């Protein structure tokens, strides 16, 4: 099943985040929320899914779990 997302190592995820961070400044929480909604509305479903999976993997490791995260 070649459509499954590739599991990346912690170092690969860290580097991907470091090189893809989008910096900006918001003058209020409302502006920040609007910018966040604008950013994610411009992402494809695949990009949103990949970001969600990265959060799940990072959460798994932050909780002190070792080994691969549970299968999706």
Q: Does any domain span residue 2?
A: no
For the chain, give the percent of residues with pLDDT over 70: 78
Angle at 30 between CA 27 and CA 26, to 5 degrees: 25
Helices (H) and strands (E) in the chain, counts: 3, 0
More confidently predicted of 42 and 14: 42
Domain that holds residue 54: 27-72
Q: Does any domain span residue 71?
A: yes
Q: Does any domain span residue 15?
A: no
| Total tally of structural domains belonging to the chain | 1
Mean pLDDT of all residues belonging to the chain: 81
Q: Does any domain span residue 6?
A: no
Q: Does any domain span residue 7?
A: no
Query: pTM of the entire structure?
Result: 0.54
Q: Does any domain span residue 19?
A: no
């Amino acid at each position: 099943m070649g459509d499954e997302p590739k599991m990346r190592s912690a170092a690969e995820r860290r580097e991907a985040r470091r090189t893809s961070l989008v910096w900006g400044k918001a003058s209020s929480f409302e502006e920040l929320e609007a910018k966040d909604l604008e950013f994610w509305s411009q992402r494809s479903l695949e990009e949103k899914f990949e970001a969600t999976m990265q959060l799940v993997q990072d959460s798994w490791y932050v909780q002190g779990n070792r080994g691969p995260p549970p299968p999706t």
